[in-house]
Amino acid sequence: MNSFYDIFEMGLSRAGEELCGDQVKVFQGDGKTIIVLSDGLGSGVKANILATLTTEIIVTMLKANASLADVLETVIGTLPICKIRRIAYATFTILQINSTTGEFELINFDNPAPFFFRQGRLLTLPVHREEILGRTIERTQGQLTRGDFIGIMSDGVEHAGMEITLDFGWGWDSVARHIEEVFRHNPHSARSIVRSVIARVHTLYQGDVGDDATFVGVLARERKSLIVFTGPPLDPDEDDRHAARVLGFEGRKVVCGGTTGNIVARYLDHPIDTDIDTLREDVPPIGYLPGIDLLTEGILTMSRALEYLRASRGSIAALPADRNGAVLLAKELLQADSVQFLVGQRINEFYQNPLLPRNISIRKSLVRELADFLRSLKKEVRIEYC
C-alpha cells in the first residue's frame, strides 16, 4: 500500500508560559515513521526540558534500532517519580509505523488513550498492558489502510473546560465525538482535523489556557507526488532523457526555468505558450506545454515562492490570492506529499555569485531552502542532481 502518512501537530501553551511543556518529535526514514509525544510534569521551562529529554531519548534509540524493551527501560529508569503526586515527571506516547506495510504499534505511558478511526468511525483496538520497572505500559497494534486516522494527545486536551463545566467537561469521549463530526465533512488532511480539535480546546479554555494542550494526528491517504525539474543538466546530451523522465513521472509535473522549459519544449517539438496575464513586476509570466502542469521562470520565481511559503507557514489558505507563477508554484509544493527535485547543474553565469565557488549556485541554494521548509511540514523530499 503506497499510502502517505499525513502528520500534523498543534498545541497550546499554558497561559503565561513562553515554552510549552509538551513536546513532539517525528522521524521519517529507513522505511519507518516514529512519532513521540511527551508531556512534562507541570508547565514552563522545567516541563519543556523534561519532555524534550524524553522525546530525544526515545527517537534516538528507536532510530538506532534499539529494542522497545531497552528503550522503555531507559526512559522509565531515567524519569524520576514526583514524591508528592506519585506520578512520573514526564509521560509519553510512541507511535511507530512501518511505511511499507502500514503496520503500526502504539505505546502509551500515562497519557490519555489514543484514538483510532476507520472510515470516520471510532474503533476500539485491543490493548495489552505490561509492567516495566514497576510502571504500567499500554501497547496497541494494528494495520493502517487509506482513510484511517490516529490521534494522540496530552491531558491538557482532555481536561479542557473542566473548571468551567465541572462534571461535564470536554473529556476523552467528547474529543472522539468531535473528531467523528469533523469526519462528516470529509477532511482531506490531518491539519484540518487537528486544527479543529485545538480550536475547540481553546474555546473551552475561554482563551485562558489552564494546561499545555497538544494534539497530533496521522491520516493515511493517497500519496500526492510532484516532480520539479529546474536547471539544464550538465551534459546537454542528457537533455532528452531527463525531459522524457519528467513527462513520464506519475504525479504532478513542474518545470522551473527558461532554459529548462526550452529543453522540454524541444523534446516535445512544441512551442511554449506564454500567459502574459500572469506577468507581475517581480514575477515573470508562466507558460504552457502539453503534459506539464506548471511552467515558470526559474530563480526569480522560486525565490518569490519561498518567501510566500515562509509567510504562509504551510497553509495554502494563507497564500496570496493573486494568480502568478510564484503563488502557483507555492501551491503545487504545499499540495504535494512527496516532492522530487531534479536539479540541473549547468551554471547560468547570470545568476552565479562571483564570490562563491563555481560549484555552488544560487539555484542549488534555493532548492535546498525549499526542501528544508517542506521537510519541516513532514513532507517527503528528495533532491537529485543531473
Beta pairing partners, 381: 339
Predicted local confidence at residue 77, as pLDDT: 73
> 269 phi and psi, to 5 degrees?
55, 50
**Mean pLDDT, all residues of the chain:** 88
The string of DSSP codes covering 135-192 is EEEEEEEEE--TT-EEEEE-HHHHTTTHHHHGGG--HHHHHHHHHHHHHTT---SHHH
Q: Are strands 213-222 and 273-275 parallel, antiparallel or unpaired?
A: unpaired
Q: Which of 9-18, 84-93, 343-352, 368-377 has the highest mean pLDDT?
A: 368-377
In CATH terms, the superfamily for domain 3-222 is: PPM-type phosphatase domain (3.60.40.10)
User: pLDDT: is 29 or 256 the higher one?
Assistant: 256
| Tens of pLDDT, residues 21-65 | 899 999 988 888 999 999 887 788 888 888 888 899 999 998 888
The C-alpha angle with vertex 134 and arms to 133 and 135, in degrees rounded to 5, equals: 95
Which is more confident, 359 or 191?
Answer: 191
Indicate if the pLDDT at residue 360 is higher than 60.
no
Q: Predicted confidence band at 113 (pLDDT cuts at 50, 70, 90)?
A: very high
Question: What is the phi/psi pair of residue 56, to 5°?
Answer: -65, -45
Cell 479554555 maps to which residue?
205
Question: pLDDT of 198-232, one tens digit each?
Answer: 999 998 888 788 888 999 999 999 889 999 999 99
What b-and-e string marks burial along 129-158, b requiring 16 or more CB atoms within 10 Å of the CB?
eeeeeebebbbbebebeeebbbbbbbbbbb
User: For the chain, which residues make up each domain, given as ranges?
Assistant: 3-222, 225-385
When pLDDT is cut at 50, 70 and 90, the band that residue 358 belongs to is very low
349's CB contacts (< 8 A; 6+ apart) are none
Tell me the CB-side half-sphere exposure of residue 196, using CA atoms within 13 A: 20
